[in-house]
Every structure is written in structure tokens, then in C-alpha cells.
Amino acid sequence: MIPEHALATDEPPVSAEPSAAPRRAPGVRSRAGNAMERTRSAVLDGAARAVEKHGARRATMGDIAVLAGIAKGTLYNHFRAKDAVYAAAVEAAVRSLAEECALVARDDLAEALALAAERIGGHPALRRLATDELAAIAAFVTPDDGPTWRLARDGVRAVLDAAGRVSDAAAVDVVLRWLISFVAFPGVELSRQASLVAAALPPASLTHGA
């Protein structure tokens, strides 16, 4: 979750927890459900684009709706406040990146780590925050026990597991802290750095029976 103190707004305080995505019974798909999922996806994309264009503090719910290509009333049907949209957008981005990198890590952990670092360092919304809103960036690079950081740790653990590497708390912390350094400072020589990090993580089999 984006910490509330990092992206404070003038809107009435409400929960910044992302609204739950629509749920269906297994095997059941409906046009209405598909439409809701498409709208939600458009909203999250619109939120990222609004931050890139206006900055997190200056962007409004109206800006998000315009860039999502939906009516403002439709946006409020999904989210009650701007911080809730931001929280959901960050959560979705973390999930998507973790899933993509876990697939790559099955064949090459270093490549997966380099991909994650490249996506993080080059994310347009994060680059806008790094330029204009350093308080928000400070929050992004300070891990805590919030749900988004737990999700990020789970994602890193899944990547390490897919690569057959040690995925205990210490290993996850090393990788996570390396990755979040690219939020504020986009990296150079990503492949070389990623190879060094990957090489420092022993195979999981070496810890079995220890």
C-alpha cells in the first residue's frame, strides 16, 4: 500500500485499502463481470498515467477518470477516494511483476532480477515522484509491515522459489532492498548487478537437512 503520509490528500479521510476485485463462482463468467474487470483495469492504468502527468498530490479523481476513459461517477462506483485507487494500482503492479518474474526465474534468476529492476527503475509514475515528490519516494523505499510490502516479500519469495534458491527472510530482504533501490535511483549495468545478486543466493537444496 502507498503509505498514507506519503500521498496525503485534501479529501476526507477514508480507508486506503484497495477495493476488492469482483469475485465470481469458479467457472462462471459473465459479461457484467468481464466489464467490471476491464473498467477496474482501466482505472488502475489511468491512476498510473495521472501520477505520471500531474504528480500524485495534484492528480484528481477527475484526472484519473479522464485518463481511464470512464465517467467520474463510474470511478466512484469502484473507489471512494484517490488514495484507494493508488493503493490498488500499486498492489496490482506488484502482483503482475512478481508473477512475470517468477516465470522468468525458472530458467534464469539473474534475468528475472534484471527485469524487475528495469521495470521498477523505468516506471513513469515512479520517475515523476522521484522528480517532484521526494516524500512519496522516501515512503516507497522504506519497507514496513503493511499489506503491500507483505505482498512484495511474497513476490520475491515466489521468484526465489521458482529459481530453486534459498528464500528465507534474509534472502528475501537482500533481494527486496536491492530492487527498491531502483525506485529512487534507476540502475546501470543491471545485468551485471543482477548476476552478482543471483550468484550470492545459494541453491535451496544446500539448506535442506542443515
| Whether 49 contacts 42, CB under 8 Å | no
Helix (H/G/I), strand (E/B), else coil: 147: helix
Orientation angle between helical segments 82-105 and 109-121, nearest 10 degrees: 160
Return the DSSP state at 200. Answer: T
Return the DSSP state at 203. Answer: B
As a whole number of angstroms, the distance between CA 164 and CA 107 comes to 10
pLDDT one-digit tens code per residue, 55-105: 999 999 999 999 999 999 999 999 999 999 999 999 999 999 999 999 999
- With b meaning 16 or more CB within 10 Å and e meaning fewer, what string describes 149-186? bebbbebbbbbbebbebbbeeebbebbbebbbbbbeeb
pLDDT one-digit tens code per residue, 18-43: 454 545 445 545 565 688 889 999 99
- Say what the pLDDT of residue 183 is: 87
Name the residue ranges covered by the structural domains of the chain: 31-202
Q: What sign for the dihedral angle of Cα 197, 200, 205, 207?
A: negative
Superfamily of domain 31-202: Tetracycline Repressor, domain 2 (1.10.357.10)
Query: What is the average pLDDT score of the chain?
Result: 85
